[in-house]
Structure 1
Amino acid sequence: MVIVNTETDQDIELLPWWKNPLNIILMAIVAMLAAGSIGFSIGRSDSVAAHNKVDTGFLQDMRIHHEQAVTMSVVYLGASPKGNLLLNMIAKEIMFTQSAEGGRMVQMLRMFGEAETNESDIAMSWMGMPTPLEEMMGMASSDEMNTLYKSRGAEADRIFATLMIAHHKGGLHMAEYAKSNAKNKEVIAFADSIIHSQESEIFELKKALTQLS
């Protein structure tokens, strides 16, 4: 939509809500805040449970990993609101499911008496693979996220599917390690649920890419 500023005679473009950068940021913030409150209802309020460094590191790093997946989904839905139907459904599922899982991770970390997120610049030390936080397995770079933000339509569909497949594959590797090496039964079950859900979504994302080609 374009309106005319009567004082300057200049055209001013009014962006739809889903293209407005401020709204995209607000949606991501709302999703993260919702995750915290959801965590209270999902996580148990038991006393500090037995856990090891894998339990803690996995939850702290996976929470950050999930946050990017949610942000990526919000950006994509803004870039291609009427794009590929399957990809739109997947993005919405990721946005809400991984926000809820973020809340669950916060609650488990509170149960363990641990920090709610990785407060260092290094990720995956718990896997014996110390890596800069922004280079965690599957994480999209700033340039890749910016490219997605600037894309539209079919281009956005392809970029989102490609980035999310890589993102999920990285998350799968982390979850598989946690499933095999964590101590806490709830964390092990949580890692297993991530494996199943992300394997399923990778299958659907690949199907969508085939439809686009």
Structure 2
Amino acid sequence: MVSGIPRTYRYAAALVGALLVLPACSEDSGPTPEAKTESAGSAGTAGTATPSAPTVIVPGAPGEAAKTVGPDEPEVEVEDPWNHADVAFLQMMIPHHAQALAMSELASTRAADPRVRRLADRIHAAQRPEILAMAAWLEEHDIEVPRAAEDPSAYDHGQHGHNEMQGMLSPEQMAALERASGPRFDRLFLQGMIGHHEGAIAMSEDVARDGAHVRVTEIASDVIVTQQDEIDVMRRMLGG
């Protein structure tokens, strides 16, 4: 107790005094909400430019410049050009790859050289996903996809005056490969697959020159790089 006033009462009196002072301080400490709003609006008009709406850059087709589209302009449809060369390549390459898979599967039980079996596994692993990608492109564009039971020659566009299917083994060559085993199988497999790969590379070069679709060209480029490397490996194996 100080000067006769209990400490508890002194705390209460101080708190009441502070609360009585706060309204006055609040009224005099700054502008009203309306004034703040007006001030902010005038400051924004005078000192800061209103942000402009974003624009969108739309890439053009191969060989064409990109286009800039503003927020009020209609959307520009991006072209996805393709032509007969793209379709012919995919429709011929699917059965072409399918024959390579059949040849590779024979190697698992007929090859004598483990290097031939490893190469066959590598070919199978590379070409099966490519078949799926090519079939997906054709389906996406509502174009017929070759089926396993169909005659591959039915999709040979060379019969209609366009680029032809190249490198396919004849039925007689496939029958000879199926009958062979051991070192004879290895030799026939390597010789047949080299010619098969060379045909695929020639077809890929055709569509790289004549095609229009970017994705098809990418598939063709992968075929050229992968299969040329495998040709080099098979030639070394035959030479050894």
With structure 2 as the length reference, what TM-score do the two structures score? 0.61
Q: Partner of 1:100 in structure 2?
A: 129
Q: Is the 8 A contact 1:49 1:112 kept in 2?
A: no
User: Are 2:119 and 1:90 aligned?
Assistant: yes
Q: Is the 8 A contact 1:139 1:170 kept in 2?
A: yes
Equivalent pairs counted in the alignment come to 159
Q: Partner of 2:82 in structure 1?
A: 51
Distance 1:195 1:184 in 2: 17
Distance 1:209 1:183 in 2: 38
Distance 1:193 1:48 in 2: 24
Q: Is the 8 A contact 1:51 1:182 kept in 2?
A: yes
Please point out which of 179, 186, 190 is paired with 2:215.
186
Distance 1:192 1:73 in 2: 22
Deviation at 1:130, TM superposition (A): 6.5
Deviation at 1:102, TM superposition (A): 0.2
Q: Partner of 2:166 in structure 1?
A: 137
Deviation at 1:126, TM superposition (A): 9.1
Distance 2:154 2:216 in 1: 23
Question: What amino acid is the match of 1:168?
Answer: H
Deviation at 1:186, TM superposition (A): 0.6
Question: What amino acid is the match of 1:199?
Answer: Q
Q: 1:122 to 1:116 in 2, by over 3 A?
A: closer
Distance 1:92 1:124 in 2: 30
Distance 2:163 2:126 in 1: 28
Distance 1:88 1:64 in 2: 22
Distance 2:93 2:223 in 1: 10
Gaps in structure 1 of 5+ consecutive residues: 1-46
Q: Partner of 2:107 in structure 1?
A: 76
Alpha-carbon RMSD = 2.3
Q: 1:127 to 1:193 in 2, by over 3 A?
A: farther
Q: 1:50 to 1:117 in 2, by over 3 A?
A: farther
Distance 2:215 2:160 in 1: 19
User: Are 2:156 and 1:123 aligned?
Assistant: yes
Residue identity over aligned pairs, in percent, reads 28
With structure 1 as the length reference, what TM-score do the two structures score? 0.69
Deviation at 1:85, TM superposition (A): 2.4
Distance 1:160 1:74 in 2: 11
DSSP-derived class of the 2:229 partner: helix
Q: Partner of 2:237 in structure 1?
A: 208
Q: 1:130 to 1:55 in 2, by over 3 A?
A: closer
Deviation at 1:127, TM superposition (A): 9.0
User: Are 2:180 and 1:151 aligned?
Assistant: yes
Kindly indicate whether structure 1 or structure 2 has the higher relative contact order, using CA contacts under 8 Å at least 6 residues apart: 1
Gaps in structure 2 of 5+ consecutive residues: 1-77
Please point out which of 110, 116, 121 is paired with 2:139.
110
Distance 2:85 2:159 in 1: 5
Distance 1:171 1:187 in 2: 14
